[in-house]
Amino acid sequence: MKVTIFGAAGLVGKSLMHEWRDDQVIPLGSEDADLRSQSQVQDVVERTRPDWIVLAAAYTDVDGCESNKELAFDINCRGAVNVARAGKQFESKLIFLSTDYVFDGNKPSPYETNDPRAPQSVYGASKAEAEVQVLKIMPETCIVRTSWVFGAGGRCFPETILKLAFNKSEIDVVTDQRGCPTYTVDLARAIIHLCRNNAQGIVHTTNQGDCTWFEFAQEIVAAAGLPTKINPTTSDKLVRPAKRPKYSVLSSASLKQYQLTMPTWQDALERYLAERNFRLRTRHDPT
């Protein structure tokens, strides 16, 4: 099987490149093809002729999207449309990475794949519209919705908390937003499994369990053995440009259809910390 990955240098893309075995995998970055250019996307798909395309590239700065709406839609929506058109033209199958931010966060129970999209931010709106447009072009597309993604080697919530914890004795973290943390390694393995099983439709793909950002931060500092105190606060006291869903837990029912069971987020956090520590050691080891 031949696979082309858009966004191979990103947080998820790096894990995909590391985890994918026994297939021919072609990594693409923004220097290889600008998603906003239909001709560039078409040329690279024509050149690589993959069985599968994994679209993991996106403008993921949620707050930045609020002040750069045109750019957000250019990359996240129109870029996805360009990839879908190229995939259809050259008969490639497509996995499109999406987000829990397509929902409004008002549901009191886990979101199912057929729940209505109601994004509350520009980022969420750009991904929600991309889902709609991509499915029009390639109805057999597999849309992998995930949430609260973290991984070693890039910006993510645990990395931010750990850096703050080394310099502060106390950190304020919101306790009124609940979701599912997802480790890039586990997400990558799930995506690989979905490709190999010819998945179609929307699949909610997160680690097992849910928590608030406050609970996640508490677990991070505890697992890292740090004495930093995590104080609960609310979203109205830590105002951000983009509105976040207060509840965006994703149901695992669609994942189970493909015989996939993700590890718990606590287990994933332990492995993330081990990977992060290994990277830090090897970076500073002169041998």
pLDDT digits (tens, 9 = 90+) for 11-56: 999 999 999 999 999 999 999 999 999 999 999 999 999 999 999 9
Determine, yes or no, domain membership for 16.
yes
What's the pLDDT at 8?
A: 97
Residue whose C-alpha is closest to residue 19's, from 252, 198, 282, 271: 271
Task: CATH number of the domain at 54, please.
Answer: 3.40.50.720
User: What confidence score (pLDDT) does residue 280 get?
Assistant: 79
Instruction: With respect to residue 112, please indicate whether it lies within any of the assigned structural domains.
Output: yes
Across all residues in the chain, what is the average pLDDT? 96
What is the per-residue pLDDT for 24?
98
pLDDT tens profile 203-251: 999 999 999 999 999 999 999 999 999 999 999 999 999 999 999 999 9
- Does pLDDT of 284 surpass 60? no
Q: What is the pLDDT of residue 285?
A: 52
d(CA 98, CA 130): 9
The answer to whether residue 126 is domain-embedded is: yes
Q: Considering the chain, what percentage of its residues have pLDDT values greater than 90?
A: 95
Mean pLDDT (whole number) for 118-138: 98
64 inside domain: yes
Does residue 143 lie in a domain region? Answer: yes
pLDDT of residue 283: 65
pLDDT in tens, 256-268: 999 999 999 999 9
Res 42: pLDDT: 98
How many separate domains does the chain show? 1
Which pLDDT score, from 0 to 100, does residue 131 have? 98
Burial class (CB in 10 A: 0-12, 13-18, 19+), 106: exposed
Tell me what the mean pLDDT of segment 68-95 comes to. 98
Q: What percent of the chain has pLDDT over 70?
A: 98
Residue ranges making up the domain that contains 46: 2-155+182-206+249-262
Q: How confident is the model at residue 153 (pLDDT cuts 50, 70, 90)?
A: confident
183 among known catalytic residues: no
How confident is the model at residue 278, as a pLDDT?
86
Q: Is residue 120 part of a domain?
A: yes
233, part of any domain: no
Q: Give me the catalytic one of 111, 123, 183, 247.
A: 123
